[in-house]
Structure 1
Amino acid sequence: MSLNALSNATAGLAATQAAINVVSQNVANAGTAGYVKRTLTPVATGINNLGVAAGTVTRSFDAAALNQLRLETSGAAYTSTKAGIISQLDALYGTPGSSTALDGTLNTFTQSLQQLSANPISAAARTTVLSNASALASQINSAANTVQTLRTGIEQQLGTDTGSASALLSSIANLNTKIQNTTDGTSLADLQDQRDQAINGLSSYMDVKTTTQSDGTVTVLTQSGATLVDRGNAATLSFDGRGTLSANSSLTSTPRSVGTITATLPGGGKIDLGEPGVLRSGSLAAQLELRDQTLPQAQRQLDDLAAGLSSSLTDKQVTGTSDGTTATIDPTGMKAGNTITIPVTVGNTTRNVILIASSAAATSVPASQTNDSTALVQTFKLPTAPETFADTINAALGNLGVGLTATMSGSAVSIAPTAGSQTKATGATANVTVASASDLYAGNPSLALFVDGTNNKLYTGTFDGGSQLTGFAQRIAVNTNLSGDTAALSAAASSTSATNTNASGTRAQQLYAALTSTQQTFSSSSGIGGISAPYQATVAGFAQDIISAQGAASSNATALDGTQQTALATAQSRFAAGAGVNIDQEMSNLIALQTAYGANARVLTAARDMLNQLLQI
């Protein structure tokens, strides 16, 4: 009996000592980041539970809480990244209503036009108009340049973060291999801690989920299902950055002009993680969304504002007639970039057909580049003779296949259904640029006050040689010809020169009205006023709408980030409650183990005394 007691006590001492070591390790690592509390559960080894062994060291944590922590980590990285950039974007436009804000600078300019209209002979008033116009153009230039600077910064950060995420994937795969080949309980727990920390770090870059395999390894996938780590094999992430980005840099351009994240699998296969929807959360997903959606839309808003600012002062609107089936409009004077818009009806469905004048043959243009992103769009070649307008318009209509045909009706063009077609042309409008960048008196009271700074070109929105609209906010400038002839600002309609005797305030007043009273059509692609239909506003009103929209977006992003950070803190607390080391609890466990150790020691002492007495008999 004493021999069994001696064996059991010895085993108990060993098991208790192992448990004390685990408690000591827990206490020593109570403040260590990523350390998960360990426990040791003794196991019976003898008949009728008369023997005991130390068992295995296990990590004590809530798996569901760990998964939630990773999801919230991804979400927090996503919202934090977006909130930071959108706040910077909002700051570009200034405080709404202040004199230095974008709308304030525009108001200062329009007010100077009013003052000139009241005092047209004042050389100082003319100079003030040009100075304020230049300040407005410079502010738009600066804001648009900053948008592209932000995009370029994101492009560079994507390269850095992709490299970091790739290193974490490699580390996870290496730890999987070590875990497969480790039998020591303490070492195994340490490796599992390291692997969890690596996965947690990866979740800040992208949304991931894990599946534990029977051999102790984990498979890491994106939430969309792309496998990144399988046991000891990891995908390699790479980013083919494009350096400095411009307004023309796009994921959808041919060739692609921004970088993308490519996951190269061990077998050689490739997954494009930069495709929309593959990464749904994490800083990488936020950066891709900012670079490819949020900031390009901000650029489009500024481009639309710059285009509206210029064209509102140079273009006239021509309204055609329609009997409900056939529309007639006079396209005389149209320049490359000017448009004809034809609302067409088939049954109960109405849609715009937009025809854009060009110096080249008819071709397709993305509807998003026009003021109606839902329209059917085609260019048509400007004819060498006005009487052949119908021929070039027919070529464009034929390419669209809308069941309409054009014929000349005097100097106008009539657009009617083709034989057997159910399509009806219910109207027609056109914008015609009547001003000239070089002849400051042509088209009076229209005036090319703002031009494309590239060679001081007239802005018409042409697509010849690429979209003139794209990036126009970075190029808009005051017509340099006005610097040498400020009197043109006060020229009477019948005059080619303004003097103290014939100066008129009519032109300045008309320019003021064009900016503050005349409704312009802005594209839904700008995100202002909705996403499915063109938006009507004055140029001054559109500037205010841009500031309001960016302010609201910034507030929403900040609020969402605050909510997400709270969710992350809650997830961290929940996980820590189960996986963290509680010093009081560990001390209580230590006392219990010391008591058990003492009890086993007394059994050994008693067994020793019994054996000694037996030997003395």
Structure 2
Amino acid sequence: MGLDPINTATAGLRATQASIALVSQNVANAGTAGYVRRTTSPVAQGLGNAGVATGAITRSFDAAALKQLRLETAGSGYTGTKADILAQLDRLYGTPGSATALDGVLNTYTQSLQTLAINPTSSAARSSVVDAAQALAGKIGSIADDVQNLRSGIESTLKGQVEDANALLDSIAKLNVQVQTAGDGTTRAALEDQRDQQINKLAGYMDIRVMDQRDGSATVMTSNGLTLVDRGVAAGLSFDGRATLSATSAYNPADKRGVGTITATLPGGSRIALSDPGTLLSGTLAANLELRDTILPQAQRQLDDLAAGLAGATTQTSVTATVAGGTATLDLSALKQPGDKITLQVSGPGGATRTVILIASASDDKPITNSALSNDATAFVQTFKIIPGAPPDATAINTALGALKVAATTAGYPAGTIPDLAAADATGKVVISGTTWGATGGGATVTVPQSPTDTTAYPQLAVFVDSDGNRLFTDSFDNGSQRTGFAQRLALNPSIKADTAALTTLGGGAAGADATRANFIYDALTGTARTFSSSSGIGGLSAPYDTTVVKFAQDIIAAQGSAAAQAQTIDSGQGVALSAAQSRFAEGAAVSIDEEMSNLIALQQAYTANARVLTAARDMLDTLLRM
């Protein structure tokens, strides 16, 4: 008898023993998180494939299911983060209709005005108006403070998340090296399990895609192609966070940033800002960046607009332009303060339409490059110089119109899209017209009182002021946008608090208290439509929104409630998708005890058969030796 059967049986025993050990390992790790089932297939060898060898150990899983799992993990991190913060934001406004909610505090204020209109001689009614106004200013300021606290909290969270993501990238790169140099299949499989767990954790922070290389390493990239890990080399992530954020803290890639930036330093030394819009599309990092830089600043803008509406509704008046034949004629005799503005709707070649906003300034005229700070984010915005206390002449406006055209050209607007307008004096008024462009509508907004203490001559009254210097709110751009952060600076006019009689007593010949001002203020808040900025997002982002101050406050509350509810619904749906992806991956990767026991029985039978061959061979050799 030759030795081939003995060698074959011996090899079979070794291969079967290795498979049994692998089954035992699978069973022992059935409940281990991140463990992927191992398999091995014996490989035929020797002359005529007469022998057998232990095959390579492989991890059994569905690659497509793993890819989907990482995609849904990033999605769940994104939707969960947004749903959580938006729910917190919604709670800041209070339960709609309750006395302590924003709309309840505003209703208390308007009701106190009604009461005062009925009893203008009542000092108690005047005091109620003052108390309600002060409470309203405090409520708006408190909500705005909390919005910035949320932003500051996100800034702190981003710092920790970037540090965690950076550690994961470094760990993945090190595991790549260990996988490449692993001496046996069992060790290699264990290292690949660890690496997949690290990559899955990374997917919670950002949208990634993974490419497996022939040498066993994994290349990790963002979904838009930025390489984060290539074999044993990882990009370094850093975050230069700020301790606290304010309403003026904004992310602008082109300018000095007022908020922290996520920077990826690539192996070659180049640096890429991952916090630039559109770089990260999913995961908790993308959600936090969107919340910090877009969603919460818009909530701040809504509160600033509401504060501006409360202050301006009772101090401003409108001047309507007379428009004929594309020419707008305006009486600007009352326009005397920085922040007073001219708004023109114009049309040009091919039916093109634009809005031009000219804002009075005590400084030299300048373009407002961020038109979103004005009421219309799509408008051409320019300041024009005035002498405070004196109305402008056509020369100043004409200079501003020329400068606006130059600024728009410099900004890259095609010549045919830039209004060509000019101003001229006409019998105490200003006439604005163009050659290829003409006015289709417009007017001016002016602040009537000249100071917070100007409380006697007309119905307009500064109930609220800017606490920064106790100044009128005129929506000035002289030292940046006065509206930005105004919600935190909204305050009751100290002159009204010191002398509540101003709420019911007019000067200029008026005698005694009457309901004129109370009725005027009430109607200005509840019955007179004002223009609120498109940047607030209320009513859409494409155009300004006209409504009353009270209705605007209600719209803010409704919008935040709707956004929170929608975010929760989306997150719930994403949770279902993530659960389905986890189940699908587990179906192929998890250890089935029943299946492993079935495999063990088959392996035991194979082991017994190989052992019997060796036993038979031993008996035959013993017989031959005794002959």
Whether TM-score is above 0.5 comes out as: yes
Q: Report the alpha carbon displacement of residue 385 of structure 1 after superposing the two structures with TM.
A: 8.9
Distance 1:200 1:19 in 2: 29
Task: Report the TM-score when normalising by structure 2.
Answer: 0.95
Deviations 1:251-277 (A, max 9, x none): 117321111111101111111111111
Moved more, 604-613 or 403-412: 403-412
CA apart distance, 1:227 = 0.5
Q: How does 1:166-565 map to 2 (within 5 A)?
A: 166-252=166-252, 254-334=255-335, 335-347=337-349, 348-365=351-368, 366-383=370-387, 389-401=393-405, 402-417=419-434, 421-492=435-506, 494-495=508-509, 502-565=512-575
State the secondary structure of the residue aligned to 1:428: strand
Q: Distance in 2 between matches of 1:174 and 1:199?
A: 12
Q: One-letter code of the match for 1:410?
A: T
Q: Is the 8 A contact 2:338 2:388 kept in 1?
A: no
Runs of 4+ aligned residues of structure 1 deviating over 3 Å after TM superposition are 383-388, 492-496
CA gap 1:426/1:295 in 2 versus in 1, 3 angstroms: same
Q: Deviations for 1:579-611, whole angstroms, at most 9, x for unmatched residues?
A: 000011111111111111111111111111111
Answer whether contact 1:387 1:411 (CA < 8 A) is retained: no
Partner AA of 1:258 in structure 2: V
Partner-residue secondary structure (3-state), 1:204: helix
Residues in 2 aligned to 1:80 and 1:443: alpha-carbon distance in whole angstroms: 55
SS at match of 1:256: coil
Relative to structure 1, the CA distance from residue 612 to residue 495 in structure 2 (aligned partners, 3 Å threshold; closer, same or farther) is farther
Q: For residues 123-145 of structure 1, give each alpha carbon's deviation from its aligned partner in whole angstroms, at most 9, with x where no partner exists.
A: 11000001111111111001100
Contact 2:459/2:517 (<8 A) preserved:
yes
* Residues 359 and 381 in structure 1, CA contact (< 8 A), matched pair in contact too: yes
- d(CA) in 2 for partners of 1:557, 1:288: 16
Measure how far apart 1:183 and its partner are.
Answer: 2.8
Deviates more, 1:434-443 or 1:583-592: 434-443
Residue 436 of structure 1 and its aligned partner are, at CA, apart by: 4.3
Where 1:33 maps in the other structure, the secondary structure is coil
For the residues of structure 1 that align with 2:564 and 2:427, how far apart are their CA atoms? 54
Contact 1:387-1:408 at 8 Å conserved across structures: no
Paired residue type of 1:257: G
Q: CA offsets, 1:471-495, max 9 Å, x none?
A: 0001101011112100111113545
Does the Cα contact within 8 Å between 1:340 and 1:429 map onto a contact in 2? Answer: yes
Q: How far 1:400 sits from its partner (Å)?
A: 1.9
User: Residue 224 of structure 1 contacts residue 277 of structure 1 at CA under 8 Å; is this kept in 2?
Assistant: no
Amino acid at match of 1:490: T
Deviations 1:4-42 (A, max 9, x none): 222111111111110011001101111111110000111
Secondary structure at the aligned position of 1:460 is classed as coil
CA distance in 1, matches of 2:389, 2:111: 43
Are the counterparts in 2 of residues 2 and 607 from structure 1 also a CA contact under 8 Å?
no
Which residue pairs with 1:17 in the alignment? 17
| Residues 456, 508 of structure 2: 8 Å contact kept | no
For the residues of structure 2 that align with 1:284 and 1:276, how far apart are their CA atoms?
12
Q: What's the secondary structure of 1:455's corresponding residue?
A: coil
Contact 1:528 1:535 in 2 (8 A): yes
Structure 2 unaligned segments of length 5 or more: list them: 406-418
Structure 1: unaligned runs, 5 residues or longer:
none
Change (3 A) 1:2 1:387: closer
The letter for the 1-side match of 2:551 is G
Alignment deviations for residues 82-131 of structure 1 (CA, whole Å, 9 cap, x no partner):
00000101111112222222111111100100000000111110000011
Mapped partners of 2:457, 2:565: distance in 1: 44
Q: Take 1:211 and 1:388, find their aligned partners in 2: how far apart are those partners?
A: 66
Shift of residue 387, structure 1, vs aligned partner: 7.5
Cα offset for 1:48?
A: 2.9
Deviations 1:151-184 (A, max 9, x none): 0011111111001001111111111111111130
Offset at 1:532? 0.4
Aligned mates of 1:448, 1:495 — CA distance in 2: 20
Q: For residues 433 and 156 of structure 1, what CA distance do their matches in structure 2 show? A: 41
Q: Which moved more, 1:92-101 or 1:503-512?
A: 92-101
* In structure 2, C-alpha distance between the alignment counterparts of 1:276 and 1:188, rounded to whole Å: 39
SS of the aligned residue for 2:3 comes to: helix
Q: How far does residue 369 in structure 1 lie from its aligned partner after superposition?
A: 1.1
SS of equivalent to 2:120: coil
Structure 2 match to 1:606: 616
Which deviates the most, 239-248 or 330-339? 330-339
Shift of 1:150: 0.4
* 1:105 and 2:105 correspond: yes
Aligned counterpart, 2:160: 160
Distance 1:64 1:384, change over 3 A: closer
In structure 2, the partner of 1:566 is 576
Q: Which amino acid aligns with 2:284?
A: S
Q: Deviations over 1:485-511 (max 9, x none)?
A: 001111135457x7xxx1101110110
Query: Bigger CA drift: 210-219 or 68-77?
Result: 210-219
With over 3 angstroms needed to count, the CA separation of the structure-2 counterparts of 1:438 and 1:279, relative to structure 1, is: closer
Letter of the 1:378 partner, please give it: Q
Distance 1:104 1:74, change over 3 A: same
Report the TM-score when normalising by structure 1.
0.97
Distance in 2 (alpha carbons) for counterparts of 1:399 and 1:101: 46
Deviation of the 1:391 alpha carbon? 1.0
Distance (Å, rounded) in 2 between the aligned partners of 1:301 and 1:43: 70
| 3-state secondary structure, aligned to 2:393 | helix
Aligned letter for 1:77?
G
Q: Distance in 1 between matches of 2:626 and 2:509?
A: 139
Contact 2:457 2:506 in 1 (8 A): no
CA contact (8 A) 1:180 1:216 kept: yes
Q: Percent identity?
A: 58
Cα distance in 2 for partners of 1:377, 1:607 equals 99
* Amino acid in the other structure paired with 2:168: L
Distance 2:452 2:250 in 1: 34
CA contact (8 A) 2:298 2:536 kept: yes
